[in-house]
């Protein structure tokens, strides 16, 4: 199942709204061409998963129609309005809408984590603006008390 060109434009705009260029980040998500990676995910997925991914995109893309009451898609509104649309979707009274919006943001985060610069920033000991991830040392046989809850 291949994405259409207009869906690629929607995906580019929507992913940019999730992680735009910002001084606190090594770079924005747009530099990683997330729409093309997303299109590859849709194409490589089984039919049911591809429909779910596409539904997630269509929800975000068409949300300005009813949330902002404007005859535009996510690609046709400004950066602030895109972010506002995502915030409104996440605050929706509908569980399905909230979960699809959250899944979109989670997908964006996974695509962003593919960046070596982003991973470096997340694990750097000199990092100040991002939450530092703890890097686990390889456990020594028999001497580890790590549990799954940690």
Q: Is residue 90 part of a domain?
A: yes
Residue owning tokens 């008390």 = 145
Q: Is residue 147 part of a domain?
A: no
Q: Is residue 148 part of a domain?
A: no
Q: Is residue 133 part of a domain?
A: no
Q: Is residue 45 part of a domain?
A: yes
Does 117 have pLDDT greater than 90? no
| Angle at the Cα of 101 from the Cα atoms of 42 and 127, rounded to 5 degrees | 95
Instruction: Over range 73-90, report the average pLDDT.
Output: 95
Identify whether the C-beta of residue 90 lies closer than 8 Å to the C-beta of residue 98. yes
Q: Is residue 83 part of a domain?
A: yes
Instruction: Over range 15-34, report the average pLDDT.
Output: 85
Q: Is residue 66 part of a domain?
A: yes
Task: State how many domains the chain has.
Answer: 1
* Model pTM score: 0.75
DSSP-derived 3-state class of residue 109: helix
Instruction: Give the CB-side neighbour count of residue 54, counting CA atoms within 13 A.
Output: 18
For residue 14, give its domain range.
Answer: 5-123
Q: Is residue 137 part of a domain?
A: no
Identify whether the C-beta of residue 54 lies closer than 8 Å to the C-beta of residue 3. yes
DSSP-derived 3-state class of residue 146: coil
Higher pLDDT, 146 or 33: 33
């Amino acid at each position: 199942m291949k994405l259409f060109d207009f869906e690629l434009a929607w995906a580019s705009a929507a992913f940019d709204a999730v992680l735009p260029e910002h001084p606190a980040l090594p770079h924005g998500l747009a530099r990683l061409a997330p729409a093309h990676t997303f299109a590859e995910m849709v194409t490589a997925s089984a039919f049911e998963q591809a429909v779910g991914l596409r539904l997630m995109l269509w929800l975000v893309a068409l949300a300005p129609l009813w949330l902002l009451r404007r005859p535009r898609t996510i690609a046709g509104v400004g950066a602030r309005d895109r972010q506002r649309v995502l915030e409104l979707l996440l605050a929706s009274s509908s569980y399905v809408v909230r979960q699809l919006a959250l899944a979109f943001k989670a997908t964006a985060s996974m695509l962003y984590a593919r960046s070596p610069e982003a991973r470096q920033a997340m694990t750097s000991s000199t990092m100040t603006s991002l939450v530092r991830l703890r890097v686990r040392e390889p456990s020594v046989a028999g001497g580890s008390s790590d549990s799954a809850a940690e």
